[in-house]
Amino acid sequence: MRISLNWLKRFVKIGVSDQDLIRLIGARLVEVEGVIDETHKYDNIYIVKVESAEKIPDTHLTLCKINVGDKTNLAKVEYEDGLVQVMCGAPNVRAGMFAVWIAPGAVVPASVHEDAPFVIGKRKMLGKYDSYGMLAGADELDFGDDHTGIVEIDPDDAVCGDGLADVYDLRDIILEIENKSLTHRPDCFGMLGFAREVAGILNEKFDYELPHDNLKIGNGVKIEVRDEGICSRYLAMTLTKHGELKKKYLTWTDTILSKSGMRPVDRIVDATNYLMLLTGQPLHAFDYDKFVAVGGGGEPKIVVRLAHEGEKLTLLDGKEVILNGSDIVITSNNVPVALAGAMGGISTAIDENTRNIILEAAVFSLYNLRKTQMVHGIFSEAITRFTKGQPDYQCATVAEDFASLVSDGFRVTGVNESRAHDKKNAAIRIDVEEINSLLGTKYTEKKIAKTLENVGFVVKVKRERLEIEVPAWRTDIHIKEDIIEEIGRLNGYDNIEPTLPRHRTAERNKLWRLESQVRTYLSDFGANEILTYSFVSEKLLRKVGLDNGNSYKIVNSISPELQFVRQTLTPSLLDKAYVNQKLPIDKFAIFEINKVYQKGWGMDDEGVPTERIHLGLVAAERKGVGAAYYRAKHYAERLLRKLNVKADFVPISEKNAMTLPFEPKRAAMMVVNGVSIGVVGEYKNSVRRNFKLEEYLAGFEMDVETLRCVKQEKRVRDKYVVSGRQDVTITTTQDYAVVLKEIENKYPEAEISPVGIYQADGSREKNITFHLEFH
């Protein structure tokens, strides 16, 4: 949403600088995303009178002499009898009209924010005519898209030589407001509501009121709202033409529409849009006669109902939408003519021949409109306001405002409504102490009452207790805390003194700490921690032979690459191993600690999927030789030694998502006291090929929670003097672990470490050498 500060200043007296005002709006009302300074956007642009206009034969050009009033001393301009010569290509240029002249040296306003703003100068045209500056169209002035002619100024509004910016109040600053921060404030989507808040944060009472008569109900079109849940109030005003709407001069309203990000269209549509920007209440105008015709020509009747599934409607922008059962439609005798709250239909659109109007001022269910917005992708200014939950208290007054804006051409013939606004304003009671104890402030009851009254609350004070009546536009205020928020916010949260509450000693989270330790140990071992996405592709799962039926499937994934919640970490690590091998990086060990989910694990006590934290590591070399298995095992053992865990490496006996990628003949399960903590080894050839990885490749995957359970406190032997050393070589056909066990049994006191395993060519037996140290 865009807020013009000049417009704002028409409703509230501002005693601070613009800079302070913007800071206060940011601190106490809403997030200001951007500030557009238009102070100089219309510099050197003047209102002039075209004194003569002489068509140049065989061209579309007109040679004009313009009266620039008292601006007879401009640089880069030559005068002839006090007039300036300018060529104009617009068909509507004529002698006697008041137009807008961009003087030489000025920047075309529409290009001000472009990388290379367009500077107007003196040009020689058709080889002989000097042309100074240009007469501007609405599009060049950034007042819409109209490029059919030059802008015409009402002679009653200005005299020759007036600065355009002075006449139309264009030396302005525009705030770009982050809509999300006003999700709960429908009132602030109208300038009056916004201005009321600004008064509040400046500690001034907002007392701007538009004068209204009580709109009389009678002689209106029949209205039937099928379900009040979708439309709490529908007011329809009929108007009939009694004269031509005033000639289309550039108006101040046009400039407001443009500054607010909308485009001027015609008098009627502009009036509905302007009032929406002013009040937050969207309006829609139907061509009455078309409305009657669409409905079959009989007595007109407005029926508001949910659309039928598959019903079709062509909207104002020419697009046909296929409606669904949650869309709300306005119908003429049951024939859809508008998608309520979103956009009107083309069959009842206002045009230059419109003689009678039905003006709609209504409120629709934000829940239905939210779905409409999503399904049809319509993000109009109207639906943006409705989906914040506009209250229905101002339908009649805004309709009345519309009638007065178009009264030069139309007069009201009838008004009807589905129901009157009859909601009682909410009331809240709160103690001063309740406010101060939540905010940590010492505000007096007087200050609190004033703060609320400034923005339209009615407050009665009874001995430290406030009885508060909430105004109709504050749909967001329901409970005491909402009132506390108002007090804190309007007086400035920044005026609250920061304090520190008491605290105790925190408990240590053992798992979190273990994860941290493991990350540090592994990076100390030259491994690289990586993070990969929690979602993987079906293709990736298939590369390791995993069943995607065991993965939770994302139904609205960004791409097929991110469709399944991962079951284990190994596939993601192998994927990144490929990325790095391609870089190329010769040797690396990458690891990740993260959460994984498998459907097969079912739900936990809370009814949400059981989650496990895994640690995965992959070591890869482009030109490595030998068995990579032992590198991965070494990594696992070094880590486990740090955690004082002694694991046995036993053949894989379980086929599950974790063990599946590994080659059973060259991988092992790591078992501690009968509990499996994970798997280590080389991957199946098929897996390795699927990932296009070089042969030297191995890794492991562990369950971190299990690791925490088996982890032991470290014990140290307190004997450091070595009393003897011995190397022992055993010739054997048995596995290393079996031999090690024998040595351990034989020398229970010794610290045993491996030296090497040697096997001669053609021999069946191998020699295993151990180094023994005695203390």
Partner 1 sequence: MEELEQLKRELKALNADYAKIRELPAEKRGEFGRDLNAKKMAILEKIREAEEALVDVEVEPLDITAPCGINEPLPEVYPVSQGSRHPLTAELERVTDIYQLMGFDVIESRQLDDEYHMFDALNFPKEHPARDGYDTFRTEEGLIPPAHTSTMQHRVLKMYKDRLARGEEIAVVVPGRVYRNEDVDATHEHTFYQCEGVYVSETCTMGDMLGILREFFEKYYEQKLNIRTQPGYFPFTEPSLEFMIEKPHALGGKKGDFLEMLGCGMIHPNVLKEAGIDPTKYHGFAWGGGIDRLVMLRFGLTDVRYFESGNLNFLREF
264 vs 661, beta carbon nearer partner 1: 661
User: Which span (70-78, 248-256, 350-358, 502-510) binds partner 1, by CB under 8 A?
Assistant: 502-510
Binding to partner 1 in span 384-403, by CB under 8 A: 387-388
- Are the C-beta atoms of 670 and 678 separated by less than 8 Å? yes
- Identify which of 381, 289, 302 has the alpha carbon closest to the alpha carbon of residue 337: 302
Per the structure block, which two tokens stand in for 651? 């053949």
- Are the C-beta atoms of 98 and 153 separated by less than 8 Å? yes
Check residue 19 for interaction with partner 1 (CB under 8 A).
no
**155, 161, 409, 545: residue in contact with partner 1 (rule CB under 8 A):** 545
380 vs 532, beta carbon nearer partner 1: 532
**39, 219, 444, 523: residue in contact with partner 1 (rule CB under 8 A):** 523
Which secondary structure element, helix H or strand E, spans residue 284, and what is its range? strand 283-287
**1, 11, 12, 28: residue in contact with partner 1 (rule CB under 8 A):** 28
- Are the C-beta atoms of 99 and 84 separated by less than 8 Å? no
Check residue 674 for interaction with partner 1 (CB under 8 A).
no
State the number of CA atoms in the 13 A half-sphere of 242 facing the CB: 9
- Are the C-beta atoms of 661 and 667 separated by less than 8 Å? no
- Are the C-beta atoms of 285 and 350 separated by less than 8 Å? yes
Check residue 31 for interaction with partner 1 (CB under 8 A).
yes
Residue type, 504: R
DSSP-assigned letters across all residues of 101-160: EE-TTPBPGGGTTSSSPPBP-EEEETTTEEEESEEPBTTTTTS-S--SSB-EE-TTT--T
- Identify which of 471, 456, 455, 467 has the alpha carbon closest to the alpha carbon of residue 428: 467
Q: Is the peptide bond before 661 cis (omega within 30 degrees of 0)?
A: no
> Least distance to partner 1 from the beta carbon of 772, Å?
15
Binding to partner 1 in span 411-440, by CB under 8 A: 437-440
Check residue 659 for interaction with partner 1 (CB under 8 A).
no
Q: For residue 195, give the 3-state DSSP assignment.
A: helix
**166, 611, 654, 742: residue in contact with partner 1 (rule CB under 8 A):** 611
> Least distance to partner 1 from the beta carbon of 609, Å?
5
Tell me whether residue 263 is exposed, middle or buried, using C-beta atoms within 10 angstroms of its C-beta: 0 to 12, 13 to 18, 19 or more. Answer: middle
Check residue 341 for interaction with partner 1 (CB under 8 A).
no
User: Which span (34-42, 215-223, 397-405, 582-590) binds partner 1, by CB under 8 A?
Assistant: 582-590
> Least distance to partner 1 from the beta carbon of 568, Å?
14
User: How many CB atoms within 10 Å of residue 324?
Assistant: 16
Check residue 363 for interaction with partner 1 (CB under 8 A).
no
> Least distance to partner 1 from the beta carbon of 441, Å?
7
| Window 586-605: contact mask with partner 1 (x via CB under 8 A) | -xxxx--xxx-x--------
| Window 439-468: contact mask with partner 1 (x via CB under 8 A) | xxx---------------------------
> Least distance to partner 1 from the beta carbon of 424, Å?
21
User: Which span (301-309, 420-428, 555-563, 708-716) binds partner 1, by CB under 8 A?
Assistant: 555-563
Check residue 745 for interaction with partner 1 (CB under 8 A).
no
> How far apart are the C-alpha atoms of 704 and 686, rounded to whole Å?
28
Check residue 651 for interaction with partner 1 (CB under 8 A).
yes
Phi then psi dihedrals of residue 360, to 5 deg: -100, 125
Residue holding tokens 């079109």? 221
Check residue 569 for interaction with partner 1 (CB under 8 A).
no
556 vs 745, beta carbon nearer partner 1: 556
Check residue 37 for interaction with partner 1 (CB under 8 A).
no
425 vs 534, beta carbon nearer partner 1: 534
| Window 687-726: contact mask with partner 1 (x via CB under 8 A) | --x-------------------------------------
> How far apart are the C-alpha atoms of 90 and 106, rounded to whole Å?
20
Binding to partner 1 in span 170-189, by CB under 8 A: 180-185
> How far apart are the C-alpha atoms of 313 and 421, rounded to whole Å?
30
Binding to partner 1 in span 230-259, by CB under 8 A: none
Beta bridge partners, 680, equal 668, 700
- Are the C-beta atoms of 120 and 103 separated by less than 8 Å? yes
Binding to partner 1 in span 475-494, by CB under 8 A: 479, 481-482, 484-485, 488-489, 493-494
**209, 507, 713, 727: residue in contact with partner 1 (rule CB under 8 A):** 507
**49, 385, 633, 711: residue in contact with partner 1 (rule CB under 8 A):** 633
Instruction: Note the Cα 35 to chain centre separation in Å.
Output: 19
99 vs 452, beta carbon nearer partner 1: 452
Check residue 631 for interaction with partner 1 (CB under 8 A).
yes
153 vs 448, beta carbon nearer partner 1: 448
- Identify which of 273, 238, 232 has the alpha carbon closest to the alpha carbon of residue 362: 232
Residues across the chain? 775
Find all residues with CB under 8 Å of 691, minimum gap 6, and list them: 543, 574, 575, 577, 578
Check residue 379 for interaction with partner 1 (CB under 8 A).
no
Check residue 538 for interaction with partner 1 (CB under 8 A).
no
Per the structure block, which two tokens stand in for 161? 């030589």
